Structure 1
Amino acid sequence: MPIAVDTAPVEQPDSSFKKRFTERTTPPPELPPFFYADRFDKAHFNDWRDELATKGYTVVKAIPTEKALEYRERAFQWMESFPLGFDRNDVKTWKNEHLPVHIKGGMFHGYGFYDISQLWDIRCEDGVIDAFAKVWGTDELITSFDGGSIMLPNRVDVMDSGKWEHMDQSHYRRGFYCCQGLVNLNNNGPDDGGLMVLEGSSTLVEEYFDTHGRNSYKSWGPFDWFGFTEEQQQWFFDRGCKWVKVCAEPGDLILWDSRTMHYNVRPKGDRDRVCTYICMAPAHLLTEEDRQLRVECFEQSKGTTHVPFAAIYARDFEPVKRSDGSPCPHDTGKPKNPPVLNDRMAKLVGIKPY
């Protein structure tokens, strides 16, 4: 994701994410056959992976509830650590002026957030790694350097900037390519904000583009991203796909095929939404060039897009900007609570081989 820029005290309707799409007609790179492309062509696992294959998403218990709630507590401690006046117990401070800069009501990408210790602790959880190991059939994994969300309910200074229905996979690719995930850290019901998925869309995207062509694509930057219009979505609705709000408990890992159309929504009820985004994939898929880029991103506390092994998209550090347009003095690009490198982290980064 791009660096968050707060352009006004209140988000304006014309700041819609879709308005920043670029439509391109440049030829795609040559895409070799992917080793795991047919892994989820059909349901044959006799466990939750069959739901991933047929519906395009599933929910797996990965972290004990009490521990997940401890991670939520650490997330609020992180926000309160900035000298901006935020107090979780005072709703009058639930405003942009008292919060670290974010986008879409609570998605954080500055302040070295990708590299804070709690995100690495979650990435290193046995249950998280075990789930991705079942997805791929190997426990020799690397991880994306994704961010997370801390969305407060009843915000009065944030306007809905619209949906951004998309898939995080180039429409030039064929077959399964990436499994995305988020670890939910609070009770998350129908009104609590969260992930929306177009159930069944992962099994139809190739047919859609085979029918309608692949000459152009809409993206905010990365190759592995495609934004869908309402007209394009209707084709999927006509074939039985429906939008589903995925509900989850603290410690649940929501997994979805990157071909699944999705977006997120802010809380409509009175409960906050806290989650961490994680994608893992087999380490053997890394080229040496991409491995070195990942090590550089880790050393510089830079985030990456979801796919951890190829076409890695990372931005150079630039301080996030506050509502008056000035760089936030609290964003140094380094986390306030950096992790301590251990053996598991070194392997998940690509510093150390398996």
Structure 2
Amino acid sequence: MATTETITKTVPSLELNAKVHYGDWRDDFFRQGYYVFKKAVTPEKAQNYYYKKALDWLQSFNNGFDINDRSTWKKEHLPQNFKNMYIWYCAAHEKFMWDARTEPNVLKPFEQLWGTKELLASFDAFNITLPHRVDDNFSPWPHTDQAPERKGLACVQGLLNLTPAGPEDGGLLLMVGSSALFEEYFSTFKKRDRQAVDAKHYDFYGFKPEDIKWFEAHGCHQIKVNADPGDLILWDSRTIHHVAKIESDTIRSVLYTCFTPAALASPEDLAYKAELFQRFEATTHWPHCNIWGQGKAQINGEVDPLERDEPLEKPVVTDQILKLAGVKPY
């Protein structure tokens, strides 16, 4: 297993200049740390195709879950997940997930931001959050998905919103302006001990309430991002973020979409990524490094009997998908 020491020495950040005036959405992105693209896909397609496919997937396990019976909305009737993110069971490679990754208006903002069409995609999860679950142990977990040891903008995360995300519908919480203060914060306070950090979670940093107060004292404020079905939200991985609890009856569903330049990936990471693609395995949010396959869902240390060797509906593999997956060079 690679160590965090190795990762920091061998993987560069892509230094984009936040002080440059672009004359478009990128100015807002660098100032605020996020941007919302309205109707990246049509609301109809978001709900009638992507959301429907996600729900069909959730109901395909023959474990007693019924979307129309709220009494089944509990852990014992659901496949394994992490905070409502479905990572295992080949979910990252379902056809609808690759369809979303190849949507022109999902790719375009990443191409503009990075200045290249030669991108890699993360093998990311999707989220289905069922409101008012009796076994819901919701708690806030503000974090960034970029290590303090990395300098500059190194990763941009995205999500395609599939269901209404109004003021009471839960959704993404962002600390506006925190990305611009990322390096100042970690130069002011002692960094974590890198030797104590699991390399698999290297690009994750959790913040305590007193940390959040520091950012607020420096002019940052938290917002809940409202969005409609089909909207695409991009945020700098240095932006502190987490999610708001759902107060309405609306099911929350999003697909995570992250892309970075293929040129940033090492030959070793590309080879590993290709292996994971062949195994239909998920990764972290990072497309080009700190990839780390997520393995199989476990129950009491054993592979979940519901686990799968291939997606419910496999993608139609094209040259575009092979390049985004790192299997085929640009």
TM-score calculated relative to the size of structure 2? 0.91
Aligned to 1:307: 286
Provide the C-alpha distance between the structure 1 equivalents of 2:228 and 2:302, rounded to a whole number of angstroms. Answer: 38
Which of residues 173, 193, 196 is equivalent to 2:173? 196
Q: Is the 8 A contact 2:146 2:204 kept in 1?
A: yes
Q: Is the 8 A contact 1:166 1:226 kept in 2?
A: yes
Provide the C-alpha distance between the structure 2 equivalents of 1:333 and 1:342, rounded to a whole number of angstroms. Answer: 21
CA-CA distance at 1:32 after TM superposition: 6.7
Deviations 1:262-316 (A, max 9, x none): 112342211010001111011111211111011001011111111211232223x
Deviations 1:71-103 (A, max 9, x none): 101111111122122222222222222222223
Q: Does 1:126 align with 2:108?
A: no
CA-CA distance at 1:29 after TM superposition: 5.3
Which of residues 23, 47, 63 is equivalent to 1:84? 63
Q: Is the 8 A contact 2:7 2:290 kept in 1?
A: no
Q: Is the 8 A contact 1:219 1:226 kept in 2?
A: no
Aligned to 1:38: 16
Give the secondary-structure state (helix, strand or coil) at the position aligned to 1:303: coil
Q: Which letter does structure 2 place at the counterpart of 1:177? A: A
Once the two structures are overlaid, the 10-residue window that deviates more, 334-343 or 168-177, is: 334-343
Provide the C-alpha distance between the structure 2 equivalents of 1:237 and 1:337, rounded to a whole number of angstroms. Answer: 45
Pair 1:144–1:77, CA change in 2 (3 A): same
Q: Which letter does structure 2 place at the counterpart of 1:350? A: G
Q: Is the 8 A contact 2:13 2:150 kept in 1?
A: no
CA-CA distance at 1:337 after TM superposition: 1.6
Which of residues 295, 299, 307 is equivalent to 1:331? 307
Provide the C-alpha distance between the structure 2 equivalents of 1:255 and 1:286, rounded to a whole number of angstroms. Answer: 21
Ranges in structure 2 where 5+ consecutive residues have no aligned partner? none
Aligned to 1:14: none
Aligned to 1:93: 72
Aligned to 2:328: 352
Q: Does 1:178 align with 2:155?
A: yes
Provide the C-alpha distance between the structure 1 equivalents of 2:303 and 2:293, rounded to a whole number of angstroms. Answer: 20
CA-CA distance at 1:333 after TM superposition: 4.4
Provide the C-alpha distance between the structure 1 equivalents of 2:16 and 2:42, rounded to a whole number of angstroms. Answer: 32
Q: Which letter does structure 2 place at the counterpart of 1:319? A: A
CA-CA distance at 1:33 after TM superposition: 8.8
Identity of aligned residues (%): 41
Deviations 1:156-214 (A, max 9, x none): 12222x22211111101111111110110111112212111111000001011112233
Provide the C-alpha distance between the structure 1 equivalents of 2:168 and 2:162, rounded to a whole number of angstroms. Answer: 15
Provide the C-alpha distance between the structure 1 equivalents of 2:7 and 2:227, rounded to a whole number of angstroms. Answer: 38
Aligned length: 324
Q: Does 1:60 align with 2:59?
A: no
Aligned to 2:318: 342
Q: Does 1:259 align with 2:259?
A: no
**Aligned-CA RMSD value:** 2.2
Pair 1:79–1:27, CA change in 2 (3 A): closer
Q: Does 1:187 align with 2:164?
A: yes
Once the two structures are overlaid, the 10-residue window that deviates more, 44-53 or 168-177, is: 44-53
Give the secondary-structure state (helix, strand or coil) at the position aligned to 2:258: strand
The structure richer in helix per residue is: 2
Aligned to 1:243: 222
Q: Is the 8 A contact 2:11 2:264 kept in 1?
A: no
Aligned to 2:114: 136
Provide the C-alpha distance between the structure 1 equivalents of 2:68 and 2:26, rounded to a whole number of angstroms. Answer: 40
Provide the C-alpha distance between the structure 1 equivalents of 2:95 and 2:244, rounded to a whole number of angstroms. Answer: 26
